[in-house]
Amino acid sequence: MARGRFITFEGGEGAGKSTQVRRLVETLARRGIEAVATREPGGAPGAELIRKLLVDGPASRWEPLTEALLHIAARREHVVCTVWPALERGQWVISDRFADSTMAYQGYGQGADRATLAALHRLVVGEFVPDLTLVLDLPVALGLARAGERDAGGSGRYERMDVAMHRRLREGFLAIARSEPGRCVVLDASLGPDDVAAAVERAVRQHLGAALHG
């Protein structure tokens, strides 16, 4: 049985990652490819418990490295319990966030040492990386406005962080994409969901077309 493929969606708040994860899973199903939708932090029972610590509470709840360690602990549970078993079964795994989010949020956005974050990531998952990462990019103001509408006036912990942090976050994602052009594709998330979904499908065909045809 052929190993599955691992695709991650990255980007700032309000970029529409969850919607595009769902739509890509549906697109793959129409091609006869079974795909698992998952997310970070979360995606496994233990990781979902850690998620509650990370997404709720005041914006300043955690020191940046402490926060990164929680994300990385959740990631270990995620890959061991969900991602790796699904890939071994030949399923594709489509994740709303992965390691790039830790580097962008806690590294670029909050100032944790990026070399330390990279070393911690290697410690828990080795050299495992996504087959394709789709970075959904849009202006910070638009993303935060969309996130506020989505949450019906309430906002999560990350949305409440200051605009300067979100600008650093956006630049972080773009810097990561520039550093790994073979893995990362930047897509314009300011477009409507249908246009973004079409761009996602084109990127998947371009980078993983042989796998799509078995």
Query: Structural domain boundaries of the chain?
Result: 6-134+150-212
pLDDT at 56: 82
Q: What is the mean pLDDT of the chain?
A: 92
Question: For the residues 93-99, what does the mean pLDDT come to?
Answer: 98
pLDDT per residue as tens digits for the range 154-203: 457 777 778 999 999 999 999 999 999 999 999 999 999 999 999 999 99
pLDDT at 33: 95
Question: For the residues 74-83, what does the mean pLDDT come to?
Answer: 98
User: Would strands 132-137 and 6-11 be described as parallel, antiparallel, or unpaired?
Assistant: parallel
Q: Cα–Cα distance between 110 and 119 in angstroms, integer?
A: 17
pLDDT at 60: 75
Question: CB of 43 within 8 A of CB of 83?
Answer: yes
- Whose tokens are 């790796």? That residue is 84
Q: State how far the alpha carbon of 88 is from the alpha carbons of 15, 83, 136, 149, in Å.
A: 30, 9, 28, 39
Instruction: Tell me which residue of 31, 126, 128, 48 sits closest to 88, measured CA to CA.
Output: 128
| Higher pLDDT among residues 85 and 2, named by residue | 85
Average the pLDDT over each of 2-11, 54-63, 114-123, 180-189 and give the range with the smallest value. 54-63
Q: Is the pLDDT of residue 213 over 70?
A: no
Q: Is the pLDDT of residue 97 over 90?
A: yes
pLDDT at 154: 47
Would you tell me the crossing angle of helices 140-150 and 163-179 to the nearest 10 degrees? 110
Pick the CATH number of 6-134+150-212 from 3.40.1280.10, 3.40.50.300, 3.40.190.10, 3.40.50.620: 3.40.50.300
pLDDT at 115: 97
